Structure 1
Amino acid sequence: MRILHISKFSHPERGGIESFVRDLTTEQARQGHDVAVLCHQAHPWRATERSVSEGVVSVQARILCNVGFAPVSPLFPLHLRRLVREKRPEIIHLHLPNPAALYSGWFPADIPLVIHWHADADGLPGRLYRSLYPVYGLFEAKCLSLADSVIATSPAYAASSRSLAHLRDKCVVVPLGLDLARYPEDAQLSRTQEPTILSVGRFAYYKGYETLVEAARMVPAARFVIVGDGPLHGKISSMIRERGLADRVRLPGSLPDRELRVLLQLATLVCLPSVDRAEAFGLVQLEAMRYGVPLVSTAIPGSGVDWVNQDGVTGLVVPPGNAEALAHALQWVVDHEQTAEAMGKAGRLRLESHFTIERVTSALDNVYARVRGLSG
Structure 2
Amino acid sequence: MRILITLNYYAPYVSGLTNVARDVAEGLAARGHDVLVLTTQHDRSLPPSETINGVRVRRFPVRVRLGKGVIAPGLVPAVIRAARTADVVNIHAPMLEAGPIAAGARRAGTPVLFTYQCDIAMPPSLLGRLQSRAMDASTTAAARNSRAVIVSSSDYAAHSRVSRALAHNQLVIPPGCHDRRGGTGRFRESDGLHVGFLGRIVEEKGIEYLVRGFTALSDPEARLLIAGDFAHIAGGSVIARVREAIGRDDRIRMLGFLADDDLPDFYASLDAFALTSVNSFEAFGIVQVEAMMAGVPALVTDMPGVRTPVQETGFGTIVPPRDSAAITSALRKLSTLALPADGPDRARALFANERGVQRYQELIDEVLEGAGRGTR
TM-score range, shorter chain: 0.7 to 0.9
SS at match of 2:76: helix
Partner of 1:2: 2
Distance in 1, Cα, partners of 2:95 & 2:166: 19
Distance 1:330 1:188 in 2: 20
Equivalent position of 1:233 in the other structure: 239
What letter matches 2:207 in structure 1?
Y
- Give the equivalent residue in structure 2 for 1:142: 141
| Distance change (3 Å), C-alpha of 1:17 and 1:167 | closer
- Distance change in 2, residues 1:64/1:346 (3 Å): farther
Match of 1:203 among 190, 201, 221: 201
Aligned match for 1:194, one of 169, 174, 192: 192
Q: CA deviation at 1:170?
A: 0.7
Rounded to whole Å, the distance in 2 between the matches of 1:264 and 1:220 is 23
Pairing 1:367–2:363 present: yes
Name the CA shift for 1:369/1:49 in 2 (closer, same or farther; >3 Å): same
2:346 and 2:156 mapped to 1: Cα distance?
20
Q: Give the letter for the 1:361 counterpart.
A: V
Q: Match of 1:254, as an amino acid?
A: F
Q: In the TM superposition, what whole-angstrom CA distance separates every residue of 1:332-376 from its partner, at most 9, and x where no partner exists?
A: 22x44xx58x55x53421222111122112222222233224433
CA gap 1:144/1:269 in 2 versus in 1, 3 angstroms:
same
Stretch of structure 1 that moved more, 189-198 or 20-29: 189-198
* Aligned match for 2:258, one of 244, 255, 261: 255
**Distance of aligned partners of 1:48 and 1:186 in 2 relative to their CA distance in 1, 3 Å threshold:** closer
Corresponding position of 1:159: 158
Identity %: 27
Residue in 2 aligned with 1:276?
279
1:292 aligns with 2:295: yes
**Are the equivalent residues in 2 in contact too, given 1:293–1:347 (CA < 8 A)?**
no
Q: CA deviation at 1:269?
A: 1.1
Structure 2 distance, partners of 1:84, 1:49, is 19
Residue 24 of structure 2 contacts residue 360 of structure 2 at CA under 8 Å; is this kept in 1? no
Residues 6 and 100, structure 1, Cα contact 8 Å, conserved in 2: no
| In 2, Cα distance between equivalents of 1:312 and 1:95 | 27
Q: How does 1:212-227 map to 2 (within 5 A)?
A: 212-221=210-219, 222-227=222-227
Secondary structure of the 1:224 match is: strand
Structure 2 unmatched ranges of 5 or more: 231-235
Q: CA deviation at 1:96?
A: 0.6
For residues 29 and 159 of structure 1, the distance between their equivalents in structure 2, rounded to whole angstroms, comes to: 32
C-alpha separation in 2, matches of 1:320 and 1:365:
36
Task: Give the SS at the match of 1:370.
Answer: helix
| Alignment correspondent of 1:37 | 37
Q: Structure 1 stretches (4+) deviating beyond 6 angstroms?
A: none
TM-superposed CA distance for 1:316, in Å, is: 0.9
2:99–2:140 contact (8 Å) kept in structure 1: no
Is structure 2 residue 70 aligned with structure 1 residue 71? Answer: yes
Contact residue 88 and residue 111 of structure 2 kept, 8 A:
yes
* Contact 1:150/1:172, CA 8 A, preserved across alignment: yes
CA–CA separation in structure 2 for the residues paired with 1:48 and 1:84: 22
Q: Provide the secondary structure at the position in 2 that maps to 1:349.
A: helix
| 1:185-205: CA deviation from partner (whole Å, max 9, x where unpaired) | 235869541321111122222
| 1:249-304 Cα distance to aligned partner (Å, 9 max, x none) | 2223222222343222211111001111211001111221232111111111xx21
Q: Is the 8 A contact 1:61 1:79 kept in 2?
A: no
Question: Could you tell me how far apart the structure 2 residues matched to 1:10 and 1:375 are?
Answer: 29
SS of 1:59's partner is strand
SS of the residue corresponding to residue 310 of structure 1 reads helix
| Pairwise CA distance, 1:82 | 5.2
Q: Specify the alignment match of 2:316 in structure 1.
A: 315
TM-score, with normalisation over the residues of structure 1?
Answer: 0.88
Unaligned stretches of 5+ residues in structure 1: none
Shift of 1:117: 0.9
Q: Secondary structure at the match of 2:200?
A: coil
TM-score, normalised to structure 2, is: 0.88
1:203–1:89 CA distance, 2 compared to 1 (3 A): same
Residue in structure 2 matched with residue 96 of structure 1 by the alignment:
93
CA distance in 2, matches of 1:311, 1:326: 21
Distance 2:132 2:224 in 1: 36
8 Å CA contact retained: 2:292, 2:344: yes
> Closer, same or farther in 2 for the Cα pair 1:132/1:326, shift >3 Å?
same
Measured on the aligned residues, the alpha-carbon RMSD in Å equals 2.4
The 3 A distance-change label for structure 1 pair 361 and 256 is closer
Superposed displacement of residue 161, structure 1: 2.6
For residue 49 of structure 1, report the CA deviation from its aligned partner. 1.9
- Inter-partner Cα distance in structure 2 for 1:3 and 1:176: 19
AA aligned to 2:305 is G
